[in-house]
A = this chain, B = another copy of it.
C-alpha cells in the first residue's frame, strides 16, 4: 500500500463516515456506520469503520488517521469531550490513544468544522477561504494564506454565538439572540416538520418551489439569516471565497441560489456592502464528496 494514503473519519451524531484518501484528496474507499452514543459506543463505532476500511486493503490500515470530532478537542492529547449529541460529557475521552492501540495507526483529532474547512481547501485549492457549517449549530472555519486558523482558544469561527438581536431568545450558550438560533439548519427543521420521507429542508424547498407562500416565507427568512452569517464572515475576515457546508448543502443549486439572492438583497440599501460583492464569493463544494472526511484525512498536512 502506498505510504501516501491517509484515513479520514468524520464523526457525526447519527453516523460516522470513514474514507481512504490519496495525497491529492481522491477517495479510494469509503464506508459509514450508524453512531452508537457514549464513550464505549463512539470507540466501538470508530473501530468498526476503521476495520472495514482496512479490510479493503488486505487488512492493513494506512498508517495515518485523521478525525473530525463534533465537540471539544484537545489536539495535543488527542482527547475529546463535551459532545452532547454523542452522549459525551465533561470527562475527557483519549480518542486518539485508544484508536491507535486498536489499529496500530497514528491518530490525530481535530474539531469537525476545522477538518471540513481544511477539506474545502484540499478540494478547491483555494488558499483564502471561509467555510460556513450549517448544521444543528452554526460555526465557521478559515484557511488564510494557506494556513488553517485555529485561534488562541479554539473559538475561532464560533460566529453562531455572536448575539444579533437584543430581543431574541436565550441560547443554550447562556447568551440572548445568538445568530445560530435563526441561521442553523435546526431552525429551519423546527419551522417545517417533515414526514420522514425526505428531509425537512428538502420538503420546505420543494414546497416553496411549488409556490407555497408559507414555505417561501420560511425559506427566504432562513436564507436571510444565513446571509447575515456570510456578511459577518465577510466584514470580519473578508475571505476570497466562502463555502457553504453541512448536510443542508445536499439541496444543491436551489440552496445556493436562495442564499446568494439573500446576500444580494442585503446590499440593495448599502453601497458599502454592494462594493465588496459577497454574493459573488459564495460557493458549494462538489456534490456527494465527503469533504469533512477528506479534510480529516489531510489534517496531518494542515499548517
Q: Which residues of A contact B (CB under 8 A)?
A: 128, 140, 144-145, 147, 149-159, 161-167, 173-175, 228, 231-240, 266, 269-273, 275-277, 281
Given contacts A173-B273, A277-B153, contact A159 B266 (CB under 8 A): no
Tell me which of A128, A162, A165 has the highest count of chain B C-beta atoms within 10 A of its own C-beta: A162
Query: Is there an interface contact between A151 and B270, defined as CB atoms closer than 8 Å?
Result: no
Q: What CA separation (Å) do A157 and B165 show in the bound complex? A: 21
Query: Is there an interface contact between B232 and A236, defined as CB atoms closer than 8 Å?
Result: yes
In the complex, the chain B residue whose C-beta lies closest to that of A172 is B272
Query: Is there an interface contact between B238 and A174, defined as CB atoms closer than 8 Å?
Result: no
Q: What CA separation (Å) do A71 and B70 show in the bound complex? A: 42
Closest CB in chain B relative to A102 CB, distance in Å: 31
Enumerate chain B residues within 8 angstroms of A162, measured Cβ to Cβ: 164, 231-232, 235-236
Q: What CA separation (Å) do A271 and B166 show in the bound complex? A: 19
In the complex, the chain B residue whose C-beta lies closest to that of A72 is B275
Given contacts A166-B165, A273-B173, contact A156 B231 (CB under 8 A): no
Additional pairs, 4, CB under 8 Å, beyond known A153-B275, A156-B238, A237-B237:
A140-B236, A161-B235, A174-B270, A233-B236
Given contacts A144-B144, A155-B238, contact A161 B281 (CB under 8 A): no
Q: Within the complex, which residue of B144, B152, B156, B238 is in contact with A153, where a contact is CB–CB below 8 Å?
A: B238
Enumerate chain B residues within 8 angstroms of A155, measured Cβ to Cβ: 234-235, 238, 276
Given contacts A164-B163, A235-B162, contact A152 B273 (CB under 8 A): no
Enumerate chain B residues within 8 angstroms of A228, measured Cβ to Cβ: 163
Query: Is there an interface contact between A281 and B152, defined as CB atoms closer than 8 Å?
Result: yes
Q: What CA separation (Å) do A162 and B275 show in the bound complex? A: 15
Given contacts A164-B163, A173-B273, A272-B173, contact A152 B266 (CB under 8 A): no
